[in-house]
Structure 1
Amino acid sequence: MQSVMNNTKWRELQMAMYGIKDFCPRWRTRCLENGYLASWDGEWFYHFSEQGYDWIEWVEIKTENAEEDSIVLSELKRIHVPGHRTEHGFKVYGYVKEGQPVNYL
């Protein structure tokens, strides 16, 4: 797997989502090391960085309505992270398979 994020970018994502105080989108991560899929969480300031960023394969961000979706997308574009839209929000990648093309939001 190839890393496409660093601690600075993870912190930018964390602070951007934390800054959306009126919505506070929910998120969950997948661990690169063991495949563990975390439960959905809405606390960005402490919980998101609790275990560090080194093993985050990806983070899913769930949006609940069109307004929240628009605000989250705007923030993701502003900080320019690797990922894509999903059925219920967005997925931001920390790692991708070697040679796999990746789009940026």
Structure 2
Amino acid sequence: MGYHPLMNDTKWDEIRTAMIEFPEQVLWRTKDIETGYISHWDGDWYYHFRTGGYNPIEWLEIKFENAKIKEELVNILRKIHVPGELSENRIRIYGYVKPGIFIDYI
């Protein structure tokens, strides 16, 4: 596969649980490391996010609508301590990275 794993099922479950408990609905999508498929945006963290298991998740993107929600999400993800990066309206969390690529933790 040529990738280094950065996440495990426990960390993915912590994210899933935190997003279920989050008071605002936030959308997510994932990229499958085996097929390259990028899922459609989804809001169901309870069932859909864990369908098929966490192993093939190369990355997870969480979309937010405003700076307040972004700040709240970043605070949650810092507590979980996940590898990722922030953009203007999305947070990307990495499950795997290619060798030689450095990803900081949120």
Sort the TM-score into its range (normalised by shorter chain).
over 0.9
Question: Which residue in the other structure is 1:60 paired with?
Answer: 61
Q: Percent of counterpart pairs with the same letter?
A: 44
Within-5 A mapping of 1:32-51: 32-51=33-52
Give the C-alpha shift of residue 45 in structure 1: 1.0
Contact 2:66 2:89 in 1 (8 A): no
Question: Which residue in the other structure is 1:14 paired with?
Answer: 16
TM-score relative to the length of structure 2 = 0.94
Q: Provide the alpha-carbon RMSD of the alignment.
A: 0.9
- Matched residues in 1 for 2:87 and 2:60: separation? 12
Gaps of 5+ in 1: none
Query: What is the SS of the residue equivalent to 2:44?
Result: coil
Question: Which residue in the other structure is 1:69 paired with?
Answer: 70
Give the C-alpha shift of residue 86 in structure 1: 1.6
The count of corresponding residues between Structure 1 and Structure 2 is: 104
CA displacement, residues 3-59 of structure 1 (integer Å, 9 cap, x when unaligned): 000001110111111110x21210000000010000000111111001100100000
Give the ranges of 4+ consecutive aligned residues of structure 1 lying more than 2 Å apart after TM superposition. none
TM-score relative to the length of structure 1 = 0.95
Within-5 A mapping of 1:22-33: 22-33=23-34
- Matched residues in 2 for 1:87 and 1:32: separation? 24
Question: Which residue in the other structure is 2:7 paired with?
Answer: 5
Gaps of 5+ in 2: none
- Matched residues in 2 for 1:3 and 1:27: separation? 20
- Residue identity opposite 1:40 in structure 2: W
- Matched residues in 2 for 1:65 and 1:32: separation? 29
- Matched residues in 2 for 1:9 and 1:95: separation? 13
- Matched residues in 1 for 2:104 and 2:29: separation? 20
